[in-house]
A = this chain, B = another copy of it.
Amino acid sequence: MEETLVVVKRGNHIESEHTGSIAVVDWQGNLLYRVGDVSRMTFTRSALKPIQTIPLVQSGAADRFLMNDKEIAICCGSHNGEEQHTQVVNSMLFRIGLQEEHLQCGAHPPYSQERYLELVQKQIKPSPIHNNCSGKHTGMLALAMHLESDIDSYHRMEHPVQQKVLESLLELAELPEEQVITGIDGCGVPNFGIPLSKLAYVFARLAHPEEIQPPSLKQAIKRITQAMVQYPEMVSGANEFCTEAMQITKGRVLAKGGAEGVYCLGLMEKGIGIAIKVTDGNWRSAYPAAVEVLKQMGELAPLEEVALQAFHTPVIQNRKGEHVGKVEPVFQLKTEGNRGN
C-alpha cells in the first residue's frame, strides 16, 4: 500500500494529501529504505532519459557527430525551451544534417513562461524544437543516422533505436523483457514501466557503474552522468528543481524527474539510487519528497538544505502573495527490518 508522503495545509488544517512510494537501493541491489509499495509497476517517463541516451553514446554515434557534454546533457533533459536550450538543439540538428521537421516529438509551448510570452508577443507558434524532449529526439535521430536506419520511424517500438533503448534498460535493471510494461510517452516514443525498486536500482548503477560490463557501457554511463551534473542547466532550466538540486549539491546528486509524479536521484559518491512515485501523478509533492529523502539520509549539508527549502516545504500564496498555507513532507523512511511501521 502507498503511504502519505506529503500534506498540503491551508492555515493549520490539512486540505489535501499525496500518497506514494519510495525505494532507496544501492548498486549491489540492496533495498536500504522503503516507503509504501516498492514493487509497484512504475512508468519511468522522463526519468528514462539518461538510459535513452546510452545507445547514442555507447554506439559511437555521439562521437561521430562531435557531440559535446552540453549536448549529451540536453539529450537527457526535459528542458525549459529557453534560448540556451533551443540553440544547443538546433546546433546538434545542423551537425547531423537534419532539420526540426524531422523531430517526431510534436510541439508544446516552452515550459519557460518568459520564453513562451516572448514567442506570443512575436507571434511565433511553438514548434517541436521547444518541446522539452527535443534534445532526446535529436539524439535518437543521430543514432538512427549512425545505424543507417530509417529516420522517419525512429520513434516506433520496432525501430533499432527504441530496441537499443529497451536493451539498455533491461541490462541496467537486470530484468527480462516480459517483466517490463510499455506505453507511449507524451513525446511519442515508447516508455517503459518497471517495479519502483528496480528504477532505484537503475539509478544506483548510473551513479556507480564501475562493475558494469562491457567497458563501452560503463564508459557511456560515466560520460552521461558527468555531462548531466556538469551542465545541469541543460537537464531542466532556470530555477527548476533538477537543475538546482544538481547545482546546489555540486554534482554529488544526480537528479531527473518524469511526468506523473516520478522522481529519481543518484548519490554519485555512494552508488545509491532513489526512486519516488507519487500515486496521483502530481508534481507538487515530488520535489518536497525528494528533498526530504536526502535530508533523512543525511545527504544534505545545512546550507544545502536551506538552499533547497523552497522545493522542500513550499509556501502556498494567495493571489496577492500572502502566505495562506504550505506543503509538508510527512513520511519516514523505513529500513527493511522496520517493515511493520
Contact = CB atoms under 8 A, between A and B. Distances in A.
Given A11-B181, A105-B320, 16 more contacts: A10-B191, A11-B182, A11-B184, A13-B181, A15-B183, A15-B281, A16-B260, A16-B261, A106-B320, A106-B321, A108-B319, A131-B319, A184-B318, A185-B324, A186-B324, A282-B282
A13 to B, nearest CB: 5
Contacts of A187: 318-319
Interface string A1-35: 00000001011010111110000000000000000
Interface residues of A, number: 45
A121 interface: yes
B260 A43 contact: no
A17 B20 CA distance: 10
A339 B51 CA distance: 47
A193 interface: yes
A187 B320 CA distance: 8
Interface string A257-282: 00011000000000000000011111
Shortest 6 CB-CB distances between A and B: which pairs?
Answer: A106-B319, A16-B281, A10-B183, A106-B320, A11-B183, A280-B280
Interface of A: 8, 10-11, 13, 15-19, 41, 43, 104-108, 117, 120-121, 123, 131, 181-188, 191, 193, 260-261, 278-282, 318-322, 324-325
A276 to B, nearest CB: 13
22 contacts: A8-B281, A10-B184, A10-B193, A11-B184, A13-B43, A13-B193, A15-B183, A15-B193, A16-B261, A16-B280, A16-B281, A17-B279, A19-B280, A183-B324, A183-B325, A185-B318, A186-B319, A188-B320, A188-B322, A279-B280, A280-B280, A281-B282
Contacts of A11: 181-184
A245 B117 CA distance: 33
A133 to B, nearest CB: 8
A8 B183 CA distance: 12
A188 to B, nearest CB: 5
Nearest to A120: B120
Given A183-B10, A183-B13, A184-B10, A320 B104 contact: yes
Contacts of A324: 183-186
B13 A322 contact: no
A15 B324 CA distance: 32
B10 A280 contact: no
Contacts of A104: 320
Nearest to A105: B319
Contacts of A107: 319
Nearest to A285: B280
**A16, A108, A183, A193 pick with most chain B CB within 10 angstroms:** A16
A111 to B, nearest CB: 13
Nearest to A106: B319
Contacts of A17: 279-280
Contacts of A320: 104-106, 188
Contact of A319 (B41, B188, B282): B188
**A123, A131, A183, A322 pick with most chain B CB within 10 angstroms:** A183
A183 to B, nearest CB: 4
A280 to B, nearest CB: 4
